[in-house]
């Protein structure tokens, strides 16, 4: 069994994999990571390997606790990838995008796949039907757009995403929601259409914290998969631990 750990800025996601199936999934605050790890291993003592992907860095104490229980891999650019990486600056490619490209490669090995990760930023990652990672795009995420409107202007309030009826705002708040949410959906639909014009039989995977919120608002056919990144990390672990 494998323990997959995706550490963000404030929250950590932990998933236990039995081969390629998720046996357990939980989240923990960064400060509760060590105690959560102990709880996971108490429930699943057969875990032998752990993969850590971190946008920040788990502190030394947390890593030491983890290494007591199993062999630990920390994802970096030295890892072997199952796909051909055609990114012009591979050393700058984020580890999250490496994992998403891996998941795309295994999910649709003989097809064209675009992965959209709607988190703090929105990333677009393309793996073609030759098993080649081509790159993609990065743009601001939902909450980053709300914050920018608040912080870069004198009078606009800081809002959170809400369900909208229609797209024409008639108050300041509803105009902001329309601009952010409708604008992001139009961006995504436009980019998906661009990729579909170039790549035949394109599969589109939408993941990330805002994936479910946005999925029902897109015109294009997509597959929403909230744990796609974790699956990619597990595939990478299996590919490299051999």
| Of residues 54, 56, 76, the one with CA closest to residue 4 | 54
Given 24, 59, 76, 96, the catalytic residue? 96
- Displacement of CA 238 from its chain's centroid (Å): 19
pLDDT tens digits for 41-79? 999 999 999 999 986 666 677 788 889 999 999 999 999
Distance CA 111, CA 210 (A): 25
CA nearest to 48, candidates 14, 24, 71, 74: 71
Is the pLDDT at 10 greater than 70? The verdict is no
**pLDDT confidence of residue 142:** 96
Which pLDDT band, with edges at 50, 70 and 90, does 158 fall under? very high
* 9 marked among binding-site residues: yes
Sequence-ordered list of residues with C-beta below 8 angstroms from that of 42, at least 6 positions apart, any chain: none
Beta strand residue intervals within the chain, DSSP E: 2-7, 11-18, 21-29, 49-54, 71-74, 84-85, 112-118, 121-127, 132-140, 202-207, 223-224
Report the chain's mean pLDDT, rounded to a whole number: 93
Torsion sign, CA atoms 18, 24, 30, 31:
negative
pLDDT at 123: 96
Q: What is the pLDDT of residue 7?
A: 86
Q: How far apart are the first and last CA of the chain?
A: 14
- 7 annotated binding-site participant: yes
Active site residue 59: no
Could you give all domains of the chain from N- to C-terminal order, each with its CATH number?
A: 2-74 (3.30.420.40), 84-233 (3.30.420.40)
Cα–Cα distance measured from residue 119 to residue 53, given in angstroms and rounded to the nearest whole number: 15
Phi, psi for 5 (deg, rounded to 5): -125, 120
Evaluate whether 142 touches 181 at the Cβ level (below 8 Å).
Answer: yes
Tell me: the pLDDT tens digits for 118-152?
999 999 999 999 999 999 999 999 999 999 999 99
**Can you tell me the mean pLDDT for 217-227?**
93
- 87 marked among binding-site residues: yes
Cβ neighbours of residue 238 closer than 8 Å, sequence gap 6 or more: 2
What pLDDT is recorded for position 56?
Answer: 63
**13 belongs to an annotated ligand binding site:** yes
Whether 203 has a binding-site annotation, put simply, is no
Q: pTM score, two decimals?
A: 0.92
Q: Which residue has the tokens 């675009």?
A: 114
Contact 139, 146 (CB under 8 A): no
Q: What is the spatial distance between Cα 146 and Cα 156, in angstroms, rounded to a whole number? A: 9
């Amino acid at each position: 069994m494998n323990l997959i750990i995706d550490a963000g800025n404030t929250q950590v996601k932990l998933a236990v994999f039995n081969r390629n199936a998720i046996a357990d999934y939980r989240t923990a605050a960064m400060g509760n990571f060590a105690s959560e790890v102990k709880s996971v291993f108490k429930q699943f003592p057969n875990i032998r390997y752990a993969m850590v992907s971190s946008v920040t860095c788990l502190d030394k104490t947390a890593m030491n606790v983890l290494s007591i229980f199993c062999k630990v891999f920390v994802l970096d650019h030295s890892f072997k990838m199952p796909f051909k990486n055609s990114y012009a600056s591979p050393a700058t490619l984020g580890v999250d995008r490496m994992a998403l490209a891996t998941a795309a490669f295994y999910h649709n090995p003989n097809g064209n796949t675009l992965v959209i990760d709607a988190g703090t930023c929105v990333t677009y990652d393309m793996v073609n039907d030759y098993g080649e990672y081509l790159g993609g795009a990065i743009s601001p995420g939902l909450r980053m757009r709300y914050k920018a409107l608040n912080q870069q202007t004198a009078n606009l309030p800081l809002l959170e995403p809400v369900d909208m009826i229609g797209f024409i705002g008639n108050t300041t708040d509803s105009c902001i929601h329309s601009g952010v949410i409708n604008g992001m959906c139009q961006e995504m639909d436009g980019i998906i259409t661009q990729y579909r014009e170039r790549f035949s039989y394109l599969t589109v995977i939408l993941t990330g914290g805002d994936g479910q919120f946005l999925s029902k608002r897109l015109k294009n056919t997509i597959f929403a998969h909230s744990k796609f990144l974790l699956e990619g990390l597990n595939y990478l672990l299996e590919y490299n631990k051999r």
